Amino acid sequence: MLRSVFVRSLAASAFALTLGAVSGDSASASEFNEVLDIGDKAPSFENLPSADGKKLSLADLKDQKAIVVVFTCNHCPVAQAYEGRMKAFAKEYADKGVSVVAISVSTEPEDALPEMAERVKAEGINYPYLRDETQAIGKAYGASVTPQSFVLGPDRTVRYMGAWDDSWRAAKAPEETYVRDAVDAVLAGKDVAVTEKRQVGCGIVYE
């Protein structure tokens, strides 16, 4: 798979900023995801440990009208940049029957469950932050970068996937709010206008 990679320095450490893409000869399921396509049934997850010491399964959220699954991690600056927006969204939409669920499949030491718990406490994260050391759920969703978002409808089919919005930099406010727009459409019983956008972030390394 071909990806455009931009290397940047942050706090004296380099990270890869990846624009998710697929090669022209790839048998990809969609434009930017080699595994899932819009309308596919979302892969389930069961009893994933959470940073709050509990466990969560997708089935536990059966009463929710929509679920936003975001593959993320502690160490990625792009993922960090979106935490504030994710927290605000989770708070705003909680009473509308929408859940945000973050999942980390990163194998970096700073992304271990104890470190996740510390970040939840330090940053006041108000949505479940789950850990899958097997990386199976990330592979099942075709997640390639952090953060990468998937909006699931009430039937748990994928209605949107890709970037949260069109600007991860705090200095530039987003003009296109893909996840929010998709969730609003799902809640209104309408078709999602923009169903997929290229995911931008730090590449996920699968073992």
Report phi then psi at 143, rounded to 5: -70, 130
Q: Both tokens of residue 42?
A: 């979302």
| pLDDT at res. 18 | 52
Q: What is the pLDDT of residues 132-160, one digit of tens each?
A: 999 999 999 999 999 999 999 999 999 99
SS3 (DSSP) at 161:
strand
Q: Which domain holds residue 149?
A: 4-203
pTM: 0.88
* pLDDT tens track for 58-85: 999 999 999 999 999 999 999 999 999 9
* Residues 114-128, mean pLDDT to the nearest whole number: 98
How many domains are there within the chain? 1
The model's pLDDT over 3-24, given as tens digits with 9 standing for 90+, comes to 333 333 333 333 345 544 333 3
CATH assignment at residue 32: 3.40.30.10
In this structure, the strands spanning 66-71 and 148-152 are: antiparallel
